[in-house]
Amino acid sequence: MKTLNQFSFTAALVLSFAALPLANAADSMHDHDMGMHSMSTSMADGKMSEGEIKKVDKEAGKITIKHGELKNLLMPGMTMAFRVKDAAMLDQVKSGDKVSFAADKVGGQLVISKIELKK
């Protein structure tokens, strides 16, 4: 009887420790989901970034911008090419223009969803 009680206690102890990583993983997934929600919300808030147009490539459908930090994408300032959501944006700007713009990651690519000339 004593051996059976020890076995039951040991089995219960092992099972409770085995369940801990699963509980922590669930909490971690919840935290990750909340982080993604916050990121989606910040993109939806229309946070604009500042930059200067370096090149407009109508054939490729891209605008190259020297920009500051893109907070919604967790990206430092740099110069890079972006696709545009709407080809009409390519006619709104030219090299040297100072702009405010919103960029999002769509299908694994960075896309300008809104652009405005700065005054």
- Mean pLDDT score across all residues of the chain: 77
Closest CA to 63 of 54, 72, 50: 54
Reported as a pLDDT band with limits 50, 70 and 90, residue 11 is low
Phi then psi for residue 23, to 5 deg, are -65, -45
User: What is the pTM assigned to this prediction?
Assistant: 0.61
* Chain segment 54-71, per-residue pLDDT in tens: 999 999 999 999 999 999
DSSP for 12-65, please give it: HHHHHHHHHHHHHHHHHHHHHHHHHHHHHHHHHTT--EEEEEEEEETTTTEEEE
Higher pLDDT pick, 34 / 85 = 85
